[in-house]
């Protein structure tokens, strides 16, 4: 079981916490301590809004070990409104087909089991379509 690895990533997985560069204001996710835009040190935590849009998507029919329960599932590149792109599953899709450009929002969902039924459950971010109209 990879407890320590998943534990270290909890702020990113549950809360989409990245960094903001104090020099050039770029928003960084995942956090990497050096700004990819200006190259200077960037360790200030930044809470992303969770809003974004679909940049690309695909539906995986042949799931790898550990993900069979969820198959077929749709995984996407989501462009967050602050700039960075993240890889994430799409969820709560219903019947409507996914489209590039569709607005989505972050939710916390179960990603996979780690180990057997007595192992830990790995949670993390997924994105669901933002529905039009009052919610």
Partner 1 sequence: MTEVVIAGIGQTPVEEHWDTSLRELAFNAVQAAQADAAGLRPQALFVGNMLAPQLSRQAHLGALIADFCGMTGIEAFTLEAAGASGGAALRAGYLAVASEQVDVALVVGVEKYSDTVGAEVDAAQMTSADSDYEAVQGLTPTAQAALLMRRYLYEFRVERSALAGFPLVAHVNGVGNPNAMFQKAIRPEIYERAGMVSDPLNMFDVAPSADGAAAVLLTRPNLLPPGFPQRLVRISGSDMATDTLALHDRPEPLAFEAVRISVGRACQKAHITPLQVDFFELFDAYSIYAALSLEASGFAEPGQGWKLAQGGAAPAAISLQGSMPISTLGGLKARGNPGGASGLYQAVEAALQLRGQAGPNQIPSAHRGLIQCLGGPASTVVTHVLEALD
* Residue 1 engages partner 1 in binding (rule: CB under 8 A): no
| Min separation Cβ 73 and partner 1, Å | 6
Between 48 and 134, name the residue whose CB sits nearer to partner 1: 48
Return the number of the residue (9 or 24) whose C-beta is nearest partner 1: 9
Q: Which residues lie closer than 8 Å to 11 by C-beta, 6 or more apart?
A: 17, 45
CA 68 to chain centre: 19
Cβ–Cβ < 8 Å for 123, 108: yes
Q: Kindly identify the residues of this chain, within the stretch 15-74, that bind partner 1 according to CB under 8 A.
A: 30, 36, 55-68, 70, 73
Smallest separation, CB 85 to partner 1 (Å): 4
For residue 9, give the 3-state DSSP assignment: coil
Which H or E run includes 38?
none
- Chain positions contacting partner 1, by CB under 8 A: 5, 9, 12, 30, 36, 55-68, 70, 73, 75-77, 84-89, 100, 111-112, 122, 124
């Amino acid at each position: 079981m990879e407890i320590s690895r998943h534990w270290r990533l909890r702020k990113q997985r549950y809360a989409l916490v990245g960094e903001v560069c104090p020099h050039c204001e770029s928003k960084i996710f995942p956090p990497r301590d050096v700004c990819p835009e200006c190259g200077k040190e960037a360790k200030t935590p930044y809470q992303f809004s969770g809003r974004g849009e679909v940049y690309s998507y695909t539906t995986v029919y042949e799931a790898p070990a550990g993900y069979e329960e969820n198959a077929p599932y749709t995984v996407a590149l989501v462009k967050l409104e602050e700039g960075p792109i993240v890889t994430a599953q799409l969820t709560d899709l219903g019947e409507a087909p996914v489209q590039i450009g569709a607005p989505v929002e972050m939710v916390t969902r179960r990603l996979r089991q780690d180990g057997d039924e007595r192992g830990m459950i790995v949670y993390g971010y997924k994105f669901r379509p933002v529905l039009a109209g009052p919610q």
